Structure 1
Amino acid sequence: MPQIRRLSVTARRTLVAVTPPLLAAAVVLSVFLSLRDRLPGRMATHMGTGGEADGFTGQGAFLAVALAVLLGDAVLFGGLTHWIRSNPGVQRVIAVTGGSAAVLTGWLVVAVLRANAQAADAASVTLPGLQAVLAFGATAVYAAVGWLLCGRVQESETPSGPTTGATRLSLGEDETASWSRVTGSRVLPLTGILVLAVGLVVGITTGWLPALPLLVIGAALALLTGARVTADRRGITVTPTLVSWPRLNVPLERIAEAGTRPVAPLRDFGGWGYRARPGASGIVLRSGDALSARLTTGSEFVVTVDDAATAAALLNALAAREGRAPAGE
């Protein structure tokens, strides 16, 4: 008998991400075609807090936007799930998020189509709150099922990547030394500016209270995305460049060995900023060289910064002077 090959973990998770949006797109198109003769030319597509229509869109535009969102969901989350396969913890979250978002979107789009077909005219369309409850309920069920289908994150799935060890700096018994560099991100400030712009639009058109979270997040992303990295007898210290808080410190006594390695934020950590995944954490603000510290717990701490080799060599020298020679020496 021929053997049945089991799907790889990445293939299974990709299916969790792309199957719901593709099925939802097919269902939306089928329902639209079956109800087309009963739908008004200008459909009610936005409901107010009371469930009554307060926004309208043409049939073709509504269908095009709905299908574009669902197919875009499949492409975006399916691609990310495949690309971030080296970071399975994040991969699992992305796969479930993409599939769940499609379930929610598809359910609500079908509910809007049916509500328009059942009403005498678009102005009288209502969407009961029960539909939203059912939509979120179906989304929660799929999220739970998808999480199980993705499988657990195994230790073998979480490689830290190749690390290059650093030589020790020559330090005398009475010498002190400190290394410091500023590192930053191009992605996060741009994201912050975009979020601020959206917050301003929401504030002007809707009100400043709902815009407040967007303005706060946007300002934080725009202003707090540079960091000063210091390596000295205290270990590794990272602080924002504009303020002194929050401050992150990895004590020297917790560092077993320091080295360098290349880091790709999306592939290795699923994004930018303070990141954590099984076996590794750190400050990831850009792609490229990173200071990598193997901790006494067996985990890894990284921070992307220029001249990381000098920082690693200094940390190894300081550890050796305290009588804790790095592993392998």
Structure 2
Amino acid sequence: MPQSPAAPLNARRVLVAVVPPVLAIGAVLVTFLSLRDRLPDRMAVHIGSGGHADGFSGQGAFLATALGVLIGDGALFGALTYWIRTTPGVQRTIAVIGGTVAVLTGWLIVAVLLANSDVTDASSVTLPGAQAALAFAAAAVYAAIGWLTCGKAEEAEESETVSGPSTGAERLPLGDSETAGWTRVAGSRVLPATGALVAAAGIVIGFTTGWLPALPLLITGAPMALLTGARVTADRRGITVTPSLTPWPRLNVPLERIAEAGHRTVNPVRDFGGWGYRARPGASGIVLRSGDAISARLTTGSEFVVTVDDAATAAALLNTLAERERERRTATGG
């Protein structure tokens, strides 16, 4: 399948992702510098249940951590928004998530600084639950504004077309009474590393601004860090993909849904907007790395891909088995 040409950059989406981190950094710096003489040397940096302080840090360490989180947010989501141009729907979502996280994080950091002003004992610092509610409300408002600002995702997706596998319908010779199966483990280095970074960011935010805003990052990062690979099997059941460490969750594309199989080169960011289970108009699949992939054209006209070594052999076997299944169903009237 030929690679999609690079789509033109939608500058609005990049701005939606990077402007909130920049503004949040400015707000944090202005607040910190204006309150510096009124802040205790030992600041309360984590507010536990009940709104009372249970974590502490020096002024410099708190500021460095806060700015690092915001800079990382802007750099990560800004870069992803720039790179993911051929899948506008994913690009739009990434941009809005990046900006929304920055609004939420920046609000809570400023709230913690204000709560520490003019106190002599950091352990007496409290943060009313209303502040968290306001932070989430501001994030929700920005998410709505950012979503509208990004524009419709269909503008570039409407031109997407699904073509057949590049290698044609090659077949693996099998006798009438013979059967065969193929299986390989497909690994990923990007997903575990990304998951570890996301989980680490969640831990940092948990210790600095609170565990409630950190929860989405921890829930997302921990499973991603454990997703080290998948077992891909091609046999009489069709294409089956399971995590390499556990038998579930299981994804199966049965033979009767496969019109033709081939293989092609896949670039996760350019073709699908990222790694893992991906879906875009006309195509879906398990994308764990760049390189060779099984490319199955389904009876619905859409494409299903799985990145794995020796995809050509798997595709040839699937074509043979799928043809045999069609002949069997025709003979039995199924």
2:240 equivalent in structure 1? 237
Of residues 284, 292, 295, the one that matches 1:292 is: 295
Structure-1 residue corresponding to 2:52: 52
Q: CA deviation at 1:119?
A: 3.2
Residue 159 to residue 111, structure 1, CA distance change in 2 (3 Å): farther
| Alignment of 1:24 onto 2:24 | yes
Could you say which residue in structure 1 is the equivalent of 2:268? 265
Q: Contact between 1:161 and 1:261, CA under 8 Å: does it hold in 2?
A: no
Q: Which whole-Å CA distance do the structure 2 matches of 1:223 and 1:110 have between them?
A: 35
CA contact 1:275–1:281 (8 Å) conserved in 2? yes
Q: Is the 8 A contact 1:183 1:304 kept in 2?
A: no
C-alpha displacement of 1:34: 1.9
Whether the 8 Å contact between 2:172 and 2:316 is mirrored in structure 1 is no
Q: Is the 8 A contact 1:86 1:159 kept in 2?
A: no
User: Quick check: 1:85 aligned with 2:85?
Assistant: yes
Deviation at 1:219, TM superposition (A): 8.0
Could you tell me how far apart the structure 1 residues matched to 2:78 and 2:224 are?
Answer: 30
- 1:281 positional shift: 1.5
**Aligned partner of residue 131 in structure 2, secondary structure:** helix
Residue 50 of structure 1 aligns to a residue whose secondary structure is helix
Distance 2:252 2:109 in 1: 49
Shifted more, 94-103 versus 37-46: the winner is 37-46
Q: CA deviation at 1:267?
A: 3.8
- Residues 43, 122 of structure 2: 8 Å contact kept: yes
Residues 244-282 of structure 1 deviation map (CA, whole Å, 9 limit, x = unaligned) = 544332222222222211123344334433332332221
Q: Is the 8 A contact 2:20 2:103 kept in 1?
A: yes
SS of the aligned residue for 1:165 comes to: coil
- Compute the displacement of 1:109 (Å): 1.1
Cα deviation digits, residues 67-102 of structure 1 (max 9, x gap) = 221111111110111112223232222111110111
Distance, in Å, in 2 between the alignment partners of 1:218 and 1:119 is 37
Equivalent in the alignment of 1:3: none
**Quick check: 1:239–1:247 contact (8 Å CA) kept in 2?**
yes
Tell me how far 1:151 sits from its aligned partner.
Answer: 2.2
- Aligned pair count reads 305
Secondary structure of 1:281's aligned partner: strand
Alpha carbons of 1:128 and 1:166: their partners in 2 closer, same or farther (altered >3 Å)? same
- Gaps of at least 5 residues in structure 2 are 1-7, 204-214, 329-334
- Distance in 1 separating the partners of 2:172 and 2:55: 71
1:306 maps to amino acid: D
Aligned to 2:211: none
Alignment of 1:85-164 (within 5 A): 85-154=85-154, 155-156=157-158, 163-164=165-166
In the alignment, does 2:305 pair up with 1:302? yes
CA contact (8 A) 2:260 2:296 kept: yes
Which secondary structure state, in structure 2, belongs to the residue aligned with residue 57 of structure 1?
Answer: strand
CA deviation string 1:143-192 (max 9, x = no partner): 12212222232133656688413343264772544340212214278459
CA contact (8 A) 1:88 1:158 kept: no
Distance 1:103 1:183, change over 3 A: same
Change in CA separation of 1:76 and 1:264 when aligned onto 2, cut-off 3 Å: same
Distance 1:241 1:123 in 2: 47
TM, length-normalised to structure 1: 0.78
Cα offset, 1:46, TM superposition = 1.6
1:223 shift after superposition: 7.6
- The residue that corresponds to 1:71 in the other structure is 71
Task: Tell me if the contact between 2:19 and 2:99 (Cα under 8 Å) persists in the aligned partners.
Answer: yes
Find the residue that maps to 1:164 and give its secondary structure: coil
**Which of the residues 187, 193, 203 maps onto 1:185?**
187
Q: Contact 2:162 / 2:301 at 8 angstroms: preserved in 1?
A: no
Q: 1:162 to 1:257 in 2, by over 3 A?
A: closer
Give the aligned residue type for 1:302. V
CA contact (8 A) 2:228 2:244 kept: yes
Identity fraction in percent: 62
1:175–1:45 distance in 2 versus 1, CA, 3 Å = same
**AA of the residue aligned to 1:105:** T
Residue 54 and residue 107 in structure 1: after superposition, are their counterparts in 2 closer, same or farther (change >3 A)? Answer: same
Amino acid at match of 2:250: R
Cα pair distance change 1:221/1:178, threshold 3 Å: farther
- Which one of the candidate residues 229, 250, 255 is aligned to 1:225? 229
Q: CA 1:315–1:127 in 2, change beyond 3 Å: closer, same or farther?
A: same
> Relative contact order (alpha carbons < 8 A, sep ≥ 6): 1 or 2 greater?
2
Q: CA-atom RMSD, angstroms?
A: 3.6
Distance in 1 separating the partners of 2:74 and 2:301: 37
CA contact (8 A) 2:17 2:77 kept: yes
1:277 pairs with 275, 280, 284, which one? 280
Instruction: Tell me the distance in 2 between the aligned counterparts of 1:253 and 1:276.
Output: 21
* 2:258 counterpart of 1:255: yes
Structure 1 counterpart of 2:233, one-letter code:
V
Call closer, same or farther: CA 1:52–1:236 in 2, change over 3 Å: closer
Partners of 1:248 and 1:48 in 2: CA distance: 40
